[in-house]
Amino acid sequence: MVDVLGRSGKTDEAWELIQQMPFEPTTSIWGSLLGSCRKYRNIGLARLAAEQLFKLEPENGGNHALLSDVYAASGNWENAVLARKYLTDSGAKKDVGSSWIYSKGKGHIFGCEKKEDLFVQTVIP
């Protein structure tokens, strides 16, 4: 329900629902709220959801990246950069993004990895 409310732009109602739940919110509930906050640029709730996720999953760098995306979507570039810096400084890990396609019976994976201060695109046959 939190996801449905958040995806429809009702992030404040999603937050109210979380507060009324008779159990502790899970990481998927907080993640859903954080993702909705990115789309609808609700920085206040994004910070709150991210804070909870950092406590529950300190090793998950994706949460830091998503918070950075919320700031960037709102044009708050200073905090977007700070959130990414905190990701690096915290030691949390974020999986590298990748895509794959199948063509003529073969799978092709495309990825990007950071080497020193550069991002290098890789193609894995």
Tens-place pLDDT, residues 100-115 = 787 888 877 776 665 5
Between 116 and 7, the higher pLDDT residue: 7
Residue 54 pLDDT: 92
pTM score of the predicted model: 0.71
In a shared domain, residues 24 and 47: yes
In a shared domain, residues 55 and 19: yes
Residue 106 pLDDT: 81
> Would you say residue 62 has pLDDT above 90?
no
Helices 43-56 and 61-73 cross at an angle (nearest 10°) of 170
Share of the chain above pLDDT 90, in %: 46
Residue 23 DSSP code: S
Domain that holds residue 123: 95-125
Measured in whole angstroms, the distance separating CA 53 from the mean position of its chain's CA atoms is 10
In a shared domain, residues 55 and 112: no
